[in-house]
Structure 1
Amino acid sequence: MELNYKELGEGSKSLIILHGLFGSSDNWLTIGRKLSEEYKVYIVDQRNHGDSPHSDEHSYKAMAQDLADFIKQHKIENPHIMGHSMGGKTAMYFAVTHPDLFDKLIVVDIAPKAYPVHHDQILEGLKSIDLDAVKTRSDADKQLSEYVPELGVRQFLLKNLNRDAKKQYSWKINLDVLDKNIEQISEGLEKRLATEKPVLFVGGKNSYYIKEEDYITINNFFPNAKIEMVEGAGHWIHAEKPEEFLSIIEDFLR
């Protein structure tokens, strides 16, 4: 599978960034541009997201293999890998199954554990939108608001709407497949997998994704892991606290 991506910068060292569930490479452009001052940055659309191909399979095994293939296709030598949320799980799975293909790993606000399925309301809301009746994004927003009250979350989700030349709307994401595989997306890593490569976990103190009791699990998989929690940040650390986030990332990579 040939993944869609954006390439920024001309640094001698490469950094690959993976977005989270319902996201795309666009979510990381601001951070990517900043990091491209020092690194050659690849921001990738994972399968079934953004402008990358759709597939009936959506598993961390498949997405980790997509990443390995991407590195080989573009002849990238020992890149740093950074993944947020679902992208963090992809990056972790990749790190422990392809330890020879990367240098350092950064995992943003996710732990290697299984999580209860908690996107039901979002998925129901997205599926409820009658795309044939949507004439503007405001129409879609109005329909989605019955399921997702938070404006910021709706704006993020509706970035997945695509309008063609006939002004008809469709989803960029493979909504049906993501819905069918939501339990796999929530699963944890297998206990037998581990790597001793340098790993940084960055969590938001206002987020529930990384808790203090998760530190033991993190260290079981990644003995050389460093954990940094950002004050005043939730799940979207890179958007909520970009300066603090970049400072932590740059210190680790240097």
Structure 2
Amino acid sequence: MAIELHTLDGGAGDGLPLVVIHGLLGSADNWRSHLRGWQQVRRTLAVDLRNHGRSPHAEGMGYDAMADDVLATLDRLGIERCHLLGHSMGGKVAMTLARENPERVASLVVADIAPVAYGHGHDAIFAALRAVEAVAPENRREVDGIMAEHVPERAVRLFLATNLVRGEGAMRWRVGLDEIEADYEAIRGEPQGDAPYAGPSLVIRGSRSNYVTDAMLPALREVLPEAALVTLEAGHWLHAEQPEAFQAAVNDFIARVEGAARD
């Protein structure tokens, strides 16, 4: 059964809407600065996936289930066709939706993820989140100190801290950590769908990231045979590290897609 997802929705224009899907332990809030830019020219919305942000918690993190959640959200909002953008785990959700419902997707942008299974890359992050959960700290500074014992990168800790809320006198996580950890094997696995997505697609990768290596490009071409590839001087969070270049790459791609549709 599909989950009713929380969305940040705004903007208007002549073009098709743009729908943005965040990555693991992210949320629609992470995309607010980009949304402000895109909403000046078209309706743009970002979703909170299940067990993330302000959306409900539910068992199951399979890509079929998460894609169904997004599709149900499009139906609820009256969006018949859209440009679809997904980062990291959200890119796999987007690939699944596009492969299973290509008539709903005018174009696809995948940010720094390939349609392959990855290793266990989040053990230290889960340990940090659980350590905070066990202590129930009173403020963000205390949370950061606890997480630093497991995650030395301050940028990663700041990203994780976007999931903090205050409840019952202590800081707590708003993510469904139990549900995410229980189905982590599905998250690190391949996106779903039997057929390739043959529509226009763009893959943006970070030069300092190992999520889309050259060795993964054959697998990528099998799923996205029409994909163009852009490499930015950035790591995995390329939309935060190179926001202007990232937004320019997306804007140029969508402009080409819409221009071709008018010709």
Bin the TM-score by the shorter chain.
over 0.9
1:172-230 deviation per Cα after TM superposition (whole angstroms, max 9, x unaligned): 10011111111110001358331211111000111100111222111111111111111
Q: Distance in 2 between matches of 1:221 and 1:101?
A: 17
Let me know the Cα RMSD of the aligned residues. Answer: 1.3
The equivalent of 1:160 in structure 2 is: 163
Q: 1:17 aligns with which of 15, 20, 42?
A: 20
Q: Counterparts of 1:68-87 in structure 2 under 5 Å?
A: 68-87=71-90
Q: Distance in 2 between matches of 1:143 and 1:106?
A: 36
Residue 57 of structure 1: CA displacement?
A: 1.4
1:129-182 deviation per Cα after TM superposition (whole angstroms, max 9, x unaligned): 145541111111111110001111111101111113x43332210011111111
Letter in 2 for 1:123: F
The equivalent of 2:91 in structure 1 is: 88
SS of match in other structure, 1:100: helix
Q: Distance in 2 between matches of 1:63 and 1:6?
A: 17
Letter in 1 for 2:45: Y
| TM-score, normalised relative to structure 2 | 0.92
Letter in 1 for 2:67: A
Q: What is the percent sequence identity of the aligned residues? A: 37
Residue 110 (str. 1) matches residue 113 (str. 2): yes
Q: Distance in 2 between matches of 1:133 and 1:61?
A: 34
Q: 2:39 aligns with which of 13, 24, 36?
A: 36
The equivalent of 2:261 in structure 1 is: none
Letter in 2 for 1:57: G
Residue 99 (str. 1) matches residue 80 (str. 2): no
Aligned positions, number: 252
Letter in 1 for 2:238: I
The equivalent of 2:259 in structure 1 is: none
SS of match in other structure, 2:93: helix
The equivalent of 2:199 in structure 1 is: 197
Q: Distance in 2 between matches of 1:204 and 1:52?
A: 29
Moved more, 169-178 or 42-51: 169-178
SS of match in other structure, 1:2: coil
Gaps of 5+ in 2: 256-263
Residue 180 (str. 1) matches residue 182 (str. 2): yes
Report if aligned partners of 1:104, 1:198 keep a CA contact under 8 Å in 2: yes
Q: Counterparts of 1:173-252 in structure 2 under 5 Å?
A: 173-189=175-191, 192-230=194-232, 232-252=233-253
SS of match in other structure, 2:225: coil
| TM-score, normalised relative to structure 1 | 0.95
Report if aligned partners of 2:63, 2:192 keep a CA contact under 8 Å in 1: no
Report if aligned partners of 1:9, 1:36 keep a CA contact under 8 Å in 2: yes
Moved more, 239-248 or 41-50: 239-248
Gaps of 5+ in 1: none
Q: Distance in 2 between matches of 1:224 and 1:8?
A: 30
Residue 145 (str. 1) matches residue 162 (str. 2): no
The equivalent of 2:260 in structure 1 is: none
The equivalent of 1:253 in structure 2 is: 254
1:100-152 deviation per Cα after TM superposition (whole angstroms, max 9, x unaligned): 11111100000011111210110011111145541111111111110001111
